[in-house]
Amino acid sequence: MAYLFTSESVSEGHPDKIADQISDTLLDNFLAFDENSKVACETLVTTGQVVLAGEVRSDTYIDVQNIAREVINEIGYTKGAYKFSGDSCGVISLIHEQSQEIYQGVDRENKEEQGAGDQGMMFGYATNETENYMPLALDISHKILIELAKLRREGKDIPYLRPDSKSQVTIEYSDDNVPQKIVAIVVSTQHDEFDENDDEMLKKIKKDILEILIPRVKEQLPEYVQKLFNDDITYHINPTGKFVIGGPHGDAGLTGRKIIVDTYGGKGAHGGGAFSGKDPSKVDRSAAYASRHVAKNLVAAGLADEVLVQVSYAIGVVEPTSISVETYGTAKVDMKDGEIAKKVAQIFDMRPWAIEDRLKLRNPIYRETAAYGHMGKEPRTVTKIFKSPYSGEVKKEVELFTWEKLDYVDKVKEAFKL
């Protein structure tokens, strides 16, 4: 019997994502001037206020207040009408030094013996239902909001858009887990006040979303996904009605509250640990990236159509306490999942330092992860410039989304004789 599956995304202007982007930009600045910085930075945003908290151990100082304001302005909160602006909000910093007890459990003289920054389990997932090996409903949800943000910044075709928005996509699958059609799409977008009455305003917004946004999204999708769009899709456009009050004025935002949006949209699994604001010694982040890297390369190599990888750690301990693999019965090799996991552990070194080194995680690469998902994006090299009133200016060429590289496909094929 066919079944439905739904995933959602939120925009860069959503309060929780504002918080994530501030936390990750602070992290990037610490790493840019001191790659050995240990950072666990949390952000709260609400009406007219930003609160920064957490623990940092670093040899550098950064202007955390100015960095937070710059992020807010870059997202698009620049007007008094939004009741939240980078130029006018208050910024309170409660950041203090990292606990020595945590530090001594992680750092070692020999970097290879670095212990895990925390206990817990992390998951990585991949599926061959999309070209980027991500769940389809989440991939479309992200693309809807990325395109909506482009339209907002262009300010031409839909000039009334404000930064806060959400999307949701429901897809019907066949019994053999093949997407059949899109059943429903939800788009809620913050907007300026309208001169027209509420009914006319809602008609205008719905018309623009259906006639301008959705066609632009479809153009980016491969033909097999475009065919899933149909005349029977149920569209819910701003279903609650008027949406002028939004962003941190409408709802407080916190770092780490959108972990399902950040990962796989409810597919696979999640260990519960958030990513943003944490340096890579925190395995909540680094091991989740490494597990995605493993899962993606396994699926790309043809080992299985769908893979979930779990890895777990004890704080201060070098070797993972477990590595497991779930192929959902789609494996193309005559091996049980437990046997596959043992071979995976031989191919991929999942010690914390090895992950940092392999994926180049001690670089300032995290601001780009903090909106529209940490997984599924195209790896690329960019040059970034950081300025500090205390340390001057530094220019760094860095690789983004290294965990999305298919650089272990040949090793997987060789190990499993694919």
pLDDT of residue 60: 92
pLDDT value, residue 158: 96
- pLDDT, residue 201, reads 87
**Residue 281: C-alpha distances to residues 109, 233, 398 (Å):** 15, 45, 18
Q: How many other CB atoms are found less than 10 A from the CB of residue 155?
A: 10
Return the pLDDT at 112. 63
Query: Is 129 marked as binding a ligand?
Result: no
Task: Grade residue 189 by pLDDT with cuts at 50, 70 and 90.
Answer: very high
* Annotated binding-site residue? 55: yes
Residue 165 annotated as lining a ligand binding site: yes
Among the listed residues 62, 125, 66, 71, the one whose alpha carbon sits nearest the alpha carbon of residue 276 = 71
Q: Tell me: pLDDT of 108 over 70.
A: no
Tell me if 417 is assigned to a ligand binding site: no
**Helix or strand holding residue 94 (H, E):** strand 90-97
Is 258 a known ligand-binding residue? yes
Is the pLDDT at 351 greater than 80? The verdict is: yes
DSSP code string of 218-244: HHHS-HHHHTT--TTPEEEESTTS---
| pLDDT of residue 105 exceeding 90 | no
Angle, alpha carbons 51-55-61 (nearest 5°) = 85
Q: List Cα–Cα distances, 249 to 84, 128, 216, 243, in angstroms.
A: 6, 40, 30, 12
CB atoms closer than 10 angstroms to residue 337: 16
Instruction: Please identify every residue annotated as catalytic.
Output: 14, 16-17, 42, 55, 166, 243, 251-252, 257-258, 278, 282, 284
Which two structure tokens, joined as six digits, stand for 329? 């019965």
166 is in an annotated binding site: yes
As a whole number of angstroms, the distance between CA 393 and CA 240 comes to 47
Structure tokens at 35: 């790659």
201-245 pLDDT, tens digit each: 899 999 999 999 999 999 999 999 999 999 999 999 999 888 888
Local structure of 232: helix, strand or coil: coil
Measure CA 281 to chain center.
Answer: 18
Query: Does 242 count as an annotated binding residue?
Result: yes
Sorting pLDDT into bands at 50, 70 and 90, what band is 113?
A: low
Q: Where do the domains of the chain lie, and which CATH numbers do they carry?
A: 3-8+136-246 (3.30.300.10), 120-128+283-416 (3.30.300.10)
- Strand partners of residue 38: 57
d(CA 292, CA 270): 11
Checking if the pLDDT of 101 tops 80, the result is no
Residue pLDDT, tens place only, 41-82: 999 999 999 999 999 999 999 999 999 999 999 999 998 889
Strand order in the sheet with 38-46: 90-97, 49-57, 38-46, 253-254
Structural tokens at position 323: 């590595």
Q: What sections of 107-253 are H helices per DSSP?
A: 136-154, 198-208, 214-220, 223-226, 247-250
Give 236-282 pLDDT, tens digit per residue: 999 988 888 898 998 999 999 999 999 999 999 999 999 999 999 99
For position 98, what pLDDT does the model report? 65
Do 24 and 263 contact (CB within 8 A), yes or no?
A: no
SS3 content of the chain, % helix, strand, coil (to 5): 35, 25, 40
Distances (CA, A) of 303 to 55, 207, 236, 269: 41, 45, 39, 20
φ/ψ of residue 417, rounded to 5: 55, 50
What digits encode the pLDDT tens for the residues 141-175? 999 999 999 999 999 999 999 999 999 999 999 99
